[in-house]
Every structure is written in C-alpha cells, then in structure tokens.
Chain A
C-alpha cells in the first residue's frame, strides 16, 4: 500500500489521491487534505493584492479601498481552503483547483494594477482607474447599471429573435424554391452586404421610435448571415438524402422539415453565431446614437462625465453578457447537433 509524504504530494498540484484508511471519520477527512502548490500560490497572490491595497495610502479619493482589501483576503482564504480540502469538496474543489493557475494570474494582475494606479500613479489617472473605483461603481451605481443591462438585453433579444426567424425562413425558402430564389436573391445581394449601421440615419427618421428602429437594425444585422448560411446549408444537402426520403414515401413538406432543415442545421448555427456578433455591434452603436437606454448609452453618458471607472464597469458587464449569449447559443447547438462529430467546445 503506497504512502505519501507531504512533500511528494505538494509537488503535484492536482493530486487527487483519496486515502481510504479505515478508522474514524475525522481521520479520514484529515487524510483527504492535500496542499496544492498552485492553490497556495493563488491564495498568496490574492493576499498580496489585499495587502497592496492597505500598505500604501491611495493617491486619490476612493472610499472602497478597505472593502476591496478585505474581500481579497476572503478570496485568498477561500482559494487556499478549497484547494487544500479539494478531495472533500467534490466538484467544487475540483473546479477551484483546475482554475488555480488562472486565479493566481488574476491575483498578480490585480496587485500590479493596484500599485500602478491607486498607489504610485504609474498609469495616467482618469483613464486608468484602480480596481476599487470600478468596484465602487458596482456598489454605488448598481441600479442604473442593471437598468441599462436589462434594456440592452431586451432590445438585443427582440431584434435578434426577429432577425434569426426571418433569416431562417428566407434562407429555407430561397434554398428550396426556385421562384423564391429568383426574387429574393437579387434583393439579398443588393441589401445584405450593406453594414446595418449605414441604415442608422434613415431608420431613426422613418421608424416611429428609436426603439423600433434599433430593433429593425439588429434584426437586419442578424438576418443577413442567417439567411445566407441557411440558404447555403439547404442548397448543399446531398441529393441522396432526398432520394432516400422519397423512396420512404416522404412528401415535399416532409422533405423540407425532416431532411433539408436538419441537414442544414450546422450551417444555420454558423449563421446564428455570425449574426450574434454583428448584432452586438449594431446594438451598441444604436444605443449610443439613438436609444436613450442600455449599456451603450451608459458608456456614452459615462464618457460625457469623463468617469472612466463607470465605462470599465459597463464594459465588463457587456462582455459578460455577450459571452453569456454566445455560451447559451453553443449550449443550444450542442443539444441540437449531438449527431455531429467533432464540434468545437466553447
């Protein structure tokens, strides 16, 4: 039976050996404790961040410095405990352990950032706010930020949904019907490549509200790639599938719904991804220019007041939302396209 000394274990960050020693539960738990170098390192990095907040006086007026420092200490302790008791904590412990190198890097980055901005002013100040001033936005300006995020999500969801549905239906019909292709294809070629933002001035004049104009533009930006890729997906379906389906007695409507669309789905998702990216861009521009709400508007407003910490805070929220949307789309795709081999994991 192998025995492990502490030094052997600590040389392997991710050692997950579970000691199965018969005896009382306490002993068993103690035997599950393993020091992990990366875990301790990450804890120390966050500790350093907290200390760097307290060690030197701020060169500006930031009320959240102490709170940030104590939060950093708590995080440092949490990381150290979670990685040490990893075996006992199950999935959560594993998750923290796996992310320990990243947590370490993050701690180091925050420490350097803190020093370079709040303490020694190596970076010019209004443009590079310290961490505590960004945290301050989340604690003091949260309602406004949440309102903005909510407005953005609402606008984006509506426009994207309309664009995706219309694009999908258009793509299927021009891929399937010669007549639809004849009439829609030239229009698509004429209008599609135009950046949706080029429509901004016209859209804001012709639509009854800035909100409906923006919804239209987001739908347009989404619709074009979805249409083109759905169309190419439907057009590239192997004729053998149609042949088989017809010998199995499928009617034309079945050929569309049960053969053409499932076979084209991988292409459709590429279109949906491209549309998502394009629509984010339109969303932000539309909010900055016309809609008086949303994260784009918040950014614009913060810039007007030269409050760069608000801008960074909004950017972080925006990035989380966009990334979340893409993750969601990947999740949907992974569910629908389990039959495809070798799909990319996001």
Chain B
C-alpha cells in the first residue's frame, strides 16, 4: 500500500464549495467563500496564507469544530459534522491537559476508547518513544519545554490511530532550531506512518520544506488562490537552488494576492 505512488492514491477528504460566515457582534464576517479542495490519502498538504485569510477556519471546519455555512466536507465520502478520532488536531498552543502526565496525555484517546489496559500502555509507550519522550513520561506539562509539549501533542493524536493529522501553525511559537528539528521529526513520522497531514502555516519556507502540495489562500473573503506541487526529494535542502526557486515562486504568488486583495478592498 505504501509503495503505491501518491498520484493514484484514493481521495480521503473532499472540501466542496465551502463558505463560512461568522455572526460577530458587529455584523456578519465572511471568513471563507467557495473553497474547493481534494486531499489524497497519505498526502502532506500545507495551507499557506496571510493572517486572517481563513486558514484556521478551514481547518476547524475539517476538524468538525465549526460547521460550514455553505457547502460540505466529506471524508471517505461521509459528511463531516462533528469532531472525531479520525481527524486529530494539533494546536499552536499545545492544549495539553495540564492535570495529566506526559504518559496520560498520550494515552488519553486509547483509554477513552476503552481499549484493554495493556494495549493502552503499549500504544502509549510506542508513541512516546516515537517522539523521544520516554524519559519524561511522568512529567507534567508545566515541566516541559515548548518543543517537548508539541511532541506530546503530536503523540497524543498519533496514539489515537488517526487518519488525518490537522496542524494549525504547530511550530509557530518555537525557536528556529527547535522548529526545524520538529519539522524533520514530523516528516519522518509522516513517512513511517502513512498519515495524511494538513498543515497550516504562514511561513513560505516551512510550507516548501514540508509539503507535497502548497495551497495558497488569500483573504477578503478567504479562498484558495492556487496550488503548487512541490516535487523536491526529501530530505530537502534549504540552500539548494531548486528549493530557493520554488520558495521564490510561492512567495511571489502569495504577495501578488495580498497586493490584489488590497487593491480590491480599496475599490469597494
């Protein structure tokens, strides 16, 4: 299954014609308008866009936290209407349960699926080892660094046997060194597990570094502007000319949309 080229992998997630209007106190806010997106199984997709273009909104709709005002999201052909263990979310601010140890945070999902105690601890140990936190099993979140917390958050989702990993600027609060270390680890995890990843970022470099496909979004209202396939072999070298060419291309697309949306905003 894993050796099958991704180009003919089946679709796992389908976002069709999704629109979202928030009813804010000072009137409705149109956060998304007719977004169409197809995610294939095992794909690593980055959603890239300026602040406020609706990346988080789109991700939260896919996760099932928000419902789309228009259109629909389907997974394996079934409509998504509530959160579920098949779509695991990793937040920028970790959202670890502070009252649970590293081990219990990671074991939260398996435990609540009422798996046998032995299986729960096996799963927990496996994913704790995968993110390199076995030595910190009995620590509480407030005793961990930011990078370690995010590792726990990732392991917590993985241990739950998730199909799609949704990540909302997961490394945004980390220093550059920790960030690139975690990027490497994430790619490694993605390769070994065959997960599908939807990763929100506003860093062009991060998107080109990680993604098979970069989805560029633009604001006012939020929509998808274009998609760019990233065909570079992994591990990717930030200093290589191919990487930089792609980075320049993506940056250009992104800034042209920002300029474009500014122009439109000025017109209206």
Contacts and interface: CB of A to CB of B under 8 A. Distances in A.
Interface of A: 238, 240-241, 243-251, 254, 258-259, 262-263, 265, 337-341
Contacts of A337: 99
Nearest to B112: A250
Nearest to B63: A247
Nearest to A246: B83
B113 A249 contact: yes
Contacts of B156: 244, 248
Interface stretch (B89-97, B174-182, B191-199): B89-97
Contact of A339 (B89, B99, B108, B109): B99
B52 interface: no
B101 to A, nearest CB: 8
B109 A249 contact: yes
Given A247-B157, A248-B108, A339 B88 contact: no
B112 to A, nearest CB: 5
Interface residues of B, number: 28
A265 to B, nearest CB: 7
A238 B96 CA distance: 11
B132 interface: no
B82 interface: yes
A340 B98 CA distance: 8
A275 B217 CA distance: 54
A258 to B, nearest CB: 7
B100 interface: yes
A265 B64 CA distance: 28
Interface in B145-170: 156-157, 160
A248 B97 contact: no
B65 interface: yes
B112 A241 contact: no
A263 B99 CA distance: 7
A243 B96 CA distance: 11
Contacts of A254: 112
B87 interface: yes
Interface in B68-103: 82-85, 87-89, 91, 93, 95, 97-101
What are the nearest 9 A-B pairs in CB distance? A248-B109, A240-B95, A249-B85, A246-B83, A262-B99, A339-B140, A339-B99, A247-B83, A341-B142
B7 to A, nearest CB: 29
Given A246-B82, A247-B83, A259-B97, 20 more contacts: A240-B91, A240-B93, A243-B95, A244-B89, A244-B156, A246-B64, A246-B65, A247-B63, A247-B87, A247-B157, A248-B85, A248-B88, A248-B109, A250-B112, A254-B112, A258-B112, A262-B97, A263-B97, A339-B99, A340-B98
B112 A248 contact: yes
15 contacts: A240-B91, A241-B97, A243-B63, A243-B95, A244-B89, A245-B108, A245-B112, A247-B160, A248-B88, A249-B85, A250-B112, A258-B112, A263-B97, A339-B101, A340-B98
B109 A241 contact: no
| Among A250, A262, A263: residue with most chain B CB under 10 A | A250
Contacts of A262: 97, 99-100
A170 B160 CA distance: 33
Nearest to B96: A244
A243 B89 contact: yes
A338 B101 CA distance: 10
Interface string B111-126: 0110000000000000
A250 B114 CA distance: 11
Contacts of A338: 140
Contact of B160 (A248, A265, A341): A248
A340 B140 CA distance: 9
B221 to A, nearest CB: 24
Contacts of A246: 64-65, 82-83
A300 to B, nearest CB: 45
| Among A241, A243, A247, A338: residue with most chain B CB under 10 A | A247
Contacts of B84: 247, 249
A244 B105 CA distance: 11
A199 to B, nearest CB: 37
